[in-house]
Amino acid sequence: MTDAPEIRSLGEPGPEFDRIYAEVLRPSFDDDELAPPGELAAELAAGRLTVLWRAGAAGEPLAAAVGTYEPGHRIMLLTWLAVRPGQRGGGLGGPLLDAAVAAWRAAFEPCMILAEVADPERHAADEAHGDPAGRLRFYLRHGARVLDLPYFQPALGEGRRRVPDMLLTVLHADPAFAGSAPETIDGALLRTWLEEHQAETEGSVGTDPRSARLWQAVERPGGVPYLRYPG
């Protein structure tokens, strides 16, 4: 490929968004991991969702990075990052991820940019969704750090299930929000965001055992530590 596919920003729903959803996001995630297209279109129209994407020579979507920003906490979540089937492993995702982090830092000045990644020790590789171990290595190469938390993706609405055994990673953290102990982040800020994120998606803050383990872990004295991964 002589010319790298350009990176574009999508400001409103429409035919381009419909293609991104159908051709990039939908084949990459199952029903519990991906919100319906109408819901995402409404979030994009309301300005709560931002989309960066890479377009091919004919304008077809090749990769997309979707983020959700919570201005009250200044936390950005990389909600979905995906590459079109048949194009994975071709160097499309890395520059898009770097561009998204840079754009979001400039636009929002977030205190944290987070991303959810499947734990490769608990999730198996498959043809449709790729290799969790390779995906984690990808994020680590691009500066992600994994938090020591028993994290799960909350259910994304009625009829959907939680996605267990996930890793919550940090793509950017403002030093002002570090914990008091070395190599940690502020657990109080993170818990507030986690509770509100769960309440928004599931309808309430969880009191079940899995949620209780998460709240307990995020309240450790000194802050939430990073896990050590090789490379």
**pLDDT at residue 113, rounded to an integer:** 98
Q: What angle do CA 46, 28, 140 make, to 5 degrees?
A: 90
The b-or-e profile of 188-211 (16+ CB within 10 A means b, else e) is: ebbbbbbbebbeeebeeebeeeeb
Per-residue pLDDT of the chain (231 residues; tens, 9 = 90+): 446 678 999 989 999 999 999 999 999 999 999 999 999 999 999 999 999 999 998 889 999 999 999 888 899 999 999 999 988 888 899 999 999 999 999 999 999 999 999 999 988 887 767 789 999 999 999 999 999 999 999 999 888 999 999 999 999 999 999 999 999 999 999 999 999 999 999 999 999 999 999 999 999 999 999 998 765
pTM of this structure:
0.93
